[in-house]
Amino acid sequence: MRRGDEAAFDQLYAAHHPAIYRYAVRMCGAAAADDVVQETFSALLQGARYDPARGTLAAYLFGVARHHILKRIAIADQESPLDVDPPDDTTPFDDVSRGQTVDSVRAAIDTLPPVYREAIVLCELHEMDYAAAAALMQVPIGTVRSRLHRAKALLCARLAPTRVQVKVRHG
């Protein structure tokens, strides 16, 4: 690909860019996700060193993407406060349809602080195993577990009011 082989680029891009894009969308929004994808693959084209001995190409690309995502998060200072509304006694998912749930869960993920959002995005949405997520996030596996646990608690808490707030999904 670094030799300017278009076929090799097409193959690699098709195989890896959707996952990178989805990761970026959930971490820093759709507006920035295109740029993150471009910066990630551009870095590879410009000679960023990928060492197969240190992990898969997918993990490497996630690492490059993460670097750009964190830069954008830092610049935008999009962190949400950690304090959450206390949940009520009912299950937040009881009264909403599947479509409404997807919308409200997606919105709730977007409001999580980045460290918890990342744990949810990688381990739940991308189904990345804890070891791979820990390597990418550069934290111990235990930290990934605790962040994921905390993220789920925050999601449940934030979804509680959605019983009355979510819009009805049409189509």
Partner 1 sequence: MDSQREGLRLTDALRAVAAEDGALSASPAVEQRLLAEVRSIAGRRRRRTALSTIAAAVVAVAAAASWTMTRATPSRATAPPANPPSVGAGASPPRASALQATPFLPLPYSGVPMSEGGQLVRLEVPRSALVSFGLAPVDGARAGTSDTVLADVLVGEDGLARAVRFVQP
| Alpha-carbon gap, residue 146 to 148, rounded angstroms | 5
Contact range with partner 1 by CB under 8 A, out of 18-26, 62-70, 75-83, 131-139: 18-26
Of 78, 84, 126, 163, the residue at the interface with partner 1 (CB under 8 A) is: 126
Residue 32's nearest CA partner among 81, 58, 65, 62 is 65
Residue 157's nearest CA partner among 79, 90, 80, 96 is 90
Q: How far apart are the first and last CA of the chain?
A: 42
Residue 116's nearest CA partner among 30, 26, 18 is 26
Of 59, 115, 125, 141, the residue at the interface with partner 1 (CB under 8 A) is: 125
27 in contact with partner 1 (CB under 8 A): no
Of 6, 51, 77, 85, the residue at the interface with partner 1 (CB under 8 A) is: 6
Site string for partner 1, 73-92 (x = CB under 8 A): ----------------x-xx
106 in contact with partner 1 (CB under 8 A): yes
Interactions with partner 1, residue window 30-49 (CB under 8 A) = 33-34, 37-38, 41-42, 45
Neighbour-count burial for 95-131, b at 16+ CB within 10 Å, e otherwise: ebeeebbebbbeebbeebbbebbbbbbbbeebebebe
Strands (DSSP E) found in the chain: none
Number of residues that bind partner 1 (CB under 8 A): 40
Binding footprint of partner 1 on the chain (CB under 8 A): 1-6, 9, 13, 17-18, 21-22, 25-26, 33-34, 37-38, 41-42, 45, 89, 91-93, 98, 101-102, 105-106, 109, 120, 124-127, 152, 155-156, 159
